[in-house]
Amino acid sequence: MGIEPVKLGIIGCGNISSIYCQNAQKLEALDLVACADLIMERAQARAEEFGIPRALSPEELLADPEIEIVLNLTVPNAHAEVALAAIKAGKSVYSEKPLAVNREDGKKILRAAKRKGVLVGCAPDTFLGAGIQTCRKLIDDGWIGKPIGAAAFFTCRGHESWHPDPEFYYQAGGGPMLDMGPYYVTALVALMGPVRRVTGSTADSFPQRTITSEPKYGTKIEVEVATHAVGVLDFAAGGIGTIMMSFDVWAADLPRIEVYGTLGTLSVPDPNMFGGPVRVWLKEKWSEVPLTHGYPENSRGLGVADMACALRSGRPHRANGEMAYHVLDVMEAVEDACREGAHIEIESTCQRPSPLPLGLLPGTLDV
C-alpha cells in the first residue's frame, strides 16, 4: 500500500465493536492498538477476543500519544462528548452514526476539528461497499440517464423484541430517522448529491413500548421521539426524493432505495449492507448487474481506513464530517418541517464523495 498504518484506538466496546475489531485487522491502513469502555470488563473482553494489545479506560486511551485516530462507538447521546474529547487530545475521530444528536453538537465537532487540524469521519461507510459503488458507477456512466427522483424506505416494528438494551432507540438521539436514516440519506447523497430543501411529517404512533427481549422482558419504555417519519428531499443538482423511516410498521413490501432516471430505473440494495443485488430497468425489463467493485461483505471500518489513508496522504476522505453533518441537517429538517408546517432550506452542503476506483485488492484503498 505504501503508507505506514495508522494507530487506532476504540472507545465503546458494545455490540457494534465486534465487527469493527474484526475488520480493523484486515484493513492495511489500520493498526488497532487499544480499546476502552466505561465498563473495564467489556474492554478487557474485546481485547482478549481480538488480541488487541491494550484494554484501557477512555481517559487512558485519549492520553495515549501513540493513538492517531479514535473510533467512537459509544451510544448516540455520547458521540459529541467523546468526539470533542478526542479532538481536544489532538486526535482525529471517526464516530458511529449519527455524527451527533443535534445540529449544534455537530457544528461544535467540526469547528473544534478545524481549530486542531484533525480529521472527522462518521459512519455509515456502507456506501463504499460493492453494492452502492456499483450503483454509483451505473449512474455516473449514464445507464439510467439523468436522475430525476429517488425513493427510500425503512420499516420495522422497532427493536425491543431483539435488542438486549433497546431503550436508547426511543430516547433523544434515537428514533428511526437518526438510527436508520443515516444509511439511507448518506446513500442518496452519495448517488444524487447534497440536498437543498426538505419538507415532511412525523409521528409517535405508539407512545409506550414493552420490551420482549431478554434480560429486560416486560420493561416499559416511554417513547420520547418520533417513530414514523416521512420526508420529501429536493436535491441541489435536481431531482426529488421521498424517504420514509419507521419503527411503527408491522410489515411492508417496499423497495429499499430506487433511483429514477430519464432512461430507466435503478434498484439500489439495502444501504445497511455492503453487497447487492443491483438491478436496472431498461428497455421494459429488469436485469441484475454484476457488482463492479470489491467489499461486498460486512466491511464496517472501511470508512475509518479511508480516513487513515487521507491522514497519511492529504487527500479528502469519503465518509467525512461535512457529509455526516449535512446528513444530520437533512434528517433534523424533516422534523423541523413537520413542526413548522413549512419547507426547510438546508443551510449545509457537502461534496458528493468521490467513487472508489475499480480493482482494489482486498484490505486496501486508494492512497
Distances (CA, A) of 54 to 10, 49, 102, 122, 305: 11, 12, 33, 24, 20
166 three-state secondary structure = helix
pLDDT bucket at 144, cuts 50 / 70 / 90? very high
Predicted confidence at residue 54, as pLDDT, reads 98
312/219 same-domain check = no
How confident is the model over 207-223, as a mean pLDDT?
Answer: 96
Q: What is the pLDDT of residues 322-356, one digit of tens each?
A: 999 999 999 999 999 999 999 999 999 999 999 99
pLDDT bucket at 172, cuts 50 / 70 / 90? confident
229/249 same-domain check = yes
Residues 57 and 55: their CA atoms lie apart, in Å, by 7
How confident is the model over 248-256, as a mean pLDDT?
Answer: 96
Distances (CA, A) of 174 to 126, 248, 335, 358: 20, 14, 13, 36
**268 CB-near residues (< 8 Å, 6+ apart):** 131, 132, 135, 187, 191, 256, 257, 258, 259, 278
What are 325's three cell numbers? 453533518
Q: Tell me, what CATH number does 224's domain have?
A: 3.30.360.10
Closest C-alpha among 283, 311, 275, 265 to residue 118: 311
Predicted confidence at residue 2, as pLDDT, reads 66
Last residue of a domain, one of 289, 306, 340: 289
120/134 same-domain check = no
With cell 424506505, the residue in question is: 153
Closest C-alpha among 155, 204, 175 to residue 76: 175
pLDDT bucket at 34, cuts 50 / 70 / 90? very high
With cell 445540529, the residue in question is: 103
Is 199 among the domain residues?
yes
Residue 221 has pLDDT above 70, yes or no: yes
Domain span at residue 27? 6-126+298-320
Per the structure, how many domains does the chain have?
2
227/273 same-domain check = yes
What are 23's three cell numbers? 475488520
Q: Tell me, what CATH number does 94's domain have?
A: 3.40.50.720
Is 334 among the domain residues?
no
Closest C-alpha among 275, 213, 223, 269 to residue 246: 223
Q: Are the C-beta atoms of residues 14 and 42 closer than 8 Å to each other?
A: yes
Is 333 among the domain residues?
no
Q: What is the pLDDT of residues 84-120, one digit of tens each?
A: 999 999 999 999 999 999 999 999 999 999 999 999 9
Peptide bond into 124 cis (omega under 30): yes
Is 335 among the domain residues?
no
97/174 same-domain check = no
Residues 25 and 51: their CA atoms lie apart, in Å, by 10
Q: Are the C-beta atoms of residues 20 and 97 closer than 8 Å to each other?
A: no
218 three-state secondary structure = coil
Is 193 among the domain residues?
yes
Is 278 among the domain residues?
yes
122/137 same-domain check = no
> What is the C-alpha end-to-end distance of the chain, expressed in Å?
7
159/280 same-domain check = yes
Amino acid at 166: P
Q: Residue 258's CB: how many other CB atoms inside 10 A? A: 18
Bridge partners, 147 (sequence order): 261
140/259 same-domain check = yes
Is 91 among the domain residues?
yes
71 three-state secondary structure = strand
Residues 47 and 56: their CA atoms lie apart, in Å, by 10
**208 CB-near residues (< 8 Å, 6+ apart):** 220, 221, 222, 223
Kindly report whether the global pTM for this prediction surpasses the value 0.75.
yes
156/100 same-domain check = no
Q: Are the C-beta atoms of residues 178 and 102 closer than 8 Å to each other?
A: no
pLDDT bucket at 367, cuts 50 / 70 / 90? confident
pLDDT bucket at 227, cuts 50 / 70 / 90? very high
47/118 same-domain check = yes
Q: Exposed, middle or buried by CB within 10 Å (0-12, 13-18, 19+), for 34?
A: buried
119/134 same-domain check = no
Predicted confidence at residue 141, as pLDDT, reads 98
95/157 same-domain check = no
Predicted confidence at residue 3, as pLDDT, reads 82
Residues 57 and 61: their CA atoms lie apart, in Å, by 6
Between strands 344-345 and 285-289, the pairing is unpaired
Closest C-alpha among 58, 60, 119, 64 to residue 87: 119
Residues 154 and 256: their CA atoms lie apart, in Å, by 7
Average pLDDT of the chain to the nearest whole number = 97
Is 96 among the domain residues?
yes
In the chain, % of residues over pLDDT 70: 99
